[in-house]
Structure 1
Amino acid sequence: MAQLIGVDLGGTAIKLGRFTVEGQLLAELEVPTPQPPMPGAVVIALVEAVQQLDPDGLATCVGVGLPGPMDGAGRVARICINLTGWEQIPLAEWLEPQLQRRVTLANDGNCAVVGEAWQGAARGYRDVLLLTLGTGVGGGVLLGGSLFTGHGGAAAEPGLICIDPEGPACNSGNRGSLEQFCSIGALARESPLTPQELCRLAGNGDAEALAIWRRYGRHLGVGLSSLIYVLTPELVLIGGGLSAASEHFLPAALAEVEQRVQRESRQGLELRRCALGNGAGRLGAARLALDRLLNA
């Protein structure tokens, strides 16, 4: 029986899963991303992790999700703005001879929305916007049930839209991007505490922590409002590591959307947390490997 490997490569961790072609998780592994995350070091870590996850070589292909746009063929990481040294990296070509398996690449936000559509909260929906909130802010879009990647494969990058032209500089070259207000780094400017500590304090009713999450939610709502006007999705999903605190910021985000977006553009809109948590990206990467390499 054919098996798949899905990889979610992030700025702090590499999450891997081995799946059946029906999407059943058979084995999983998480390893730290090398620091600094130079391409060569990441390749070594990825190869070692795949060999550890699948020592018997049962999986026939590998999908890798990365934080940035790929080329249209899913072979080259064009740029990963939060990973050092990642520009026009032919990662699939580097990995295949070492893994002895075919490899396809995709944007990590695209992987997440594909995973949620396959086994999670987006199953049965056709127009979906997903945002991943973590080291950066990424995302993916389904339009009419199909993954939207735009001209040249670079769409969608919802975290890079501008919400404050005078805001903090972004690695993308933009200023005041949504990422600069809704990433882990943005929270660090608000408080020396970790997101986990802020979440725990908010859960205990701490007024300062609750205020920080409300401000975070308002910024998220501002960005979502612009995206909703363009895409008019039926479902907005929030994923990534910071989604664990969604109960503390989603109400403020929803209030902002309701204030800023006319009723016709948000009719029937649902806003909620991803069902698969941090597992959506690796599952979606495996599904894209299935579609592109096994079923093509």
Structure 2
Amino acid sequence: MGNSQVIGIDVGGTAIKLGRFSQDGTCLQSLTVATPQPQTPEAVLAVMVDAIAQIDVDNQTIAIGVGTPGPADATGRIAQIAINLPGWQNVPLADWLEAKTGKPTVIDNDANCAGVGEAWLGAGRQFQNFMLLTLGTGVGGAIILDGKLFVGQRGAAGELGLITLQPDGPMCKSGNQGSLEQYTSIQAIRRRTGKEPAELGMLAQAGDVNALAFWQEYGRDLGIGLASLIYVLTPQAIVIGGGVSASFEFFFPAVQAEIDKRVMPTSRMGLQIIPAQLGNSAGMVGAAKLAWQKFRI
């Protein structure tokens, strides 16, 4: 089966990205389709099945991996909840896709998929122990320990964005208050500034004093959150991905300063804080890698 292939799928609130991958990580074909509105599980399934047929015309693929926006169960079969998608509760997505396509399917949280993608082909390649934070609509996380994804007892570990930053801060959909996500997500940036992260990035690039000050404050909040995570895991690296990471250069100095101040040298020796490398394709790449791992033929 030297030339066999898998499909990696990243299900997001606005777009579904699919790629057909060979075993070395080469993407042979990719496709992005709009997520149906409303994003009910049945509607999303129909769009996925149609897109899979388009990307796998000659039925070359042997397995499917899917990243969904929320925790999957420990067996990689059920999308337990998708915080930002309506009606997604205990959706047996792997069963559904297998029934429609006849191909073995594994699912995981989208940030876990991004972490696996970065570990395979991106910024995490040279590290056995690292964590990924995705700074997007929400803030997701992934933990790679000894080269393997750490998912905890029931599959839901690594929700790094949901740790508490300010006990009395804004309510989070998770039920937590003042979670790291409520200070560092795209939605949090809009709430705090009335602007889009990309605009704040361009303003900072042009030397705008207010934008530069905002990114400094942002980096401080992120650094405070990371300090807690570093004490627990002492990783070799922290990889920063998601849409907001486009402004990494503007918030990184404040992140580093905060970590240097708050974390004992014994816990941060040699720690690297680096931007992710795979951009928007990380989730799709990681989903493909999970398919390879699960169904190594």
Q: TM-score, normalised by structure 2?
A: 0.95
Alignment of 1:1-296 (within 5 A): 1-295=3-297
Structure 2: distance between partners of 1:2 and 1:222: 45
Shift of 1:51: 2.0
Structure 1: distance between partners of 2:283 and 2:8: 8
Deviations 1:168-208 (A, max 9, x none): 11111111111111111001112232222221111111112
Q: Which piece of structure 1 moves more, 38-47 or 226-235?
A: 38-47
- How many residues in Structure 1 have an aligned counterpart in Structure 2? 295
Structure 2: distance between partners of 1:110 and 1:19: 18
Q: Which piece of structure 1 moves more, 69-78 or 46-55?
A: 46-55
Deviations 1:72-118 (A, max 9, x none): 11000111112211111101111122223221101112111111111
Give secondary structure in 2 for the equivalent of 1:138. Answer: strand
Structure 2: distance between partners of 1:15 and 1:80: 17
Structure 2: distance between partners of 1:55 and 1:169: 46
The AA in structure 2 aligned to 1:128 is: F
Identity between Structure 1 and Structure 2 (%):
53
Relative to 1, partners in 2 of residues 1:210 and 1:48: Cα closer, same or farther, differing over 3 Å?
Answer: farther
Structure 2: distance between partners of 1:138 and 1:50: 26
Shift of 1:292: 0.5
Shift of 1:12: 2.4
Structure 2: distance between partners of 1:165 and 1:103: 39
Q: TM-score, normalised by structure 1?
A: 0.96
- Which consecutive residues of structure 1, in runs of 5 or more, have no partner in the other structure? none
Structure 2: distance between partners of 1:242 and 1:50: 30
Give secondary structure in 2 for the equivalent of 1:212. Answer: helix
